[in-house]
Amino acid sequence: MQKNLEMLLKLQEIDYDLTELERSKDYLPDMINNLKKEIEDTSTAYKNSEESLTQLNLQRKGLELDLEEINSELTKLQKQMRDIKTNREYDALVTEIANRKLKISNAEEELLKVLTETDEIQDKIKELKEKSVLVEKNNLLQLESLQKEVDSIGTKIKQKGDERKNISVRLNKLILATYERVKKVKGGVAVVPVRKRACSGCYKSLPPQRIQEIKKGDNLITCDSCGRVLIWTEEEEDEKKH
């Protein structure tokens, strides 16, 4: 019986591995997609910032040309002051000059804002470029590893399936049937060790006589409370001595 219990425990380990492999069919592709999306998002943020910088540079050049043109107009108007003959012409020219100076002030203010934004986005671009390079490097390494895992799932499932079959055919049919029944209703955990003289599945204390029966390992003992198969381990033996 002890041999059967050992095989039963091994069978449970295999079933756990098979469950995890089946789960990995869902979560590994999700992880891969998330890593790819992170690469794409950081790259897009970097490219968008570069495009913003290009637009700011175009805006700066436009403002500089506007300033050059307005300053040229202002210079011409100021020269015309020497040829003024009437108060009416003087007043009109003063108004034009004031208008040009206001335009220059507004353009210079706008240019200063653009230059400030340019400095800020240049710093941002540097950070985003470094982040994009780092994310791509790290994520590509993870993607390579994850893809290998995905590619090997089928092989691993087959290997574990063969191991399970090899153990199942050697197990007592009644014991195997008990295991399959309990596993189905207990979320895959059908075999549990005794811990501190209690079932480690439901934590119900076990009477001394039942402890002795489990320790002998002559029969298949199940928990009266949760129905799980109980086994005695060296770990429990060591704890009992202490």
Q: How far apart are CA 154 and CA 149, in angstroms?
A: 10
Q: How far apart are CA 182 and CA 188, in angstroms?
A: 8
Backbone angles phi, psi at 206, to 5 degrees: -110, 140
pLDDT digits over 88-129, tens only?
999 999 999 999 999 999 999 999 999 999 999 999 999 999
Which of the four pLDDT bands, split at 50, 70 and 90, describes residue 242?
very low
Q: Are 231 and 213 in contact (CB under 8 A)?
A: no
Q: Is 241's pLDDT higher than 90?
A: no
pLDDT digits over 1-37, tens only?
788 888 999 999 999 999 999 999 999 999 999 999 9
Q: What residue spans define the domains of the chain? A: 24-168, 173-241
Buried b (16+ CB within 10 A) or exposed e, 22-45: eebeeebeeebeebeeebeebbeb
Q: What is the mean pLDDT of the chain?
A: 93
pLDDT digits over 166-210, tens only?
999 999 899 999 999 999 999 889 999 999 999 999 999 999 999
Residues pairing with 230 in the sheet: 192
Q: What is the pTM of this model?
A: 0.69
Q: What pLDDT does residue 236 have?
A: 55
Cα 20 to the chain's mean position, in Å? 19
Amino acid letter at 187? G
Residues pairing with 192 in the sheet: 230
Amino acid letter at 168? S
pLDDT digits over 135-144, tens only?
999 999 999 9
- Which CATH number is 24-168's, of 1.25.40.80, 1.10.287.1490, 3.30.450.30, 2.60.40.730? 1.10.287.1490
Question: What token pair was written down for 83?
Answer: 């040829």
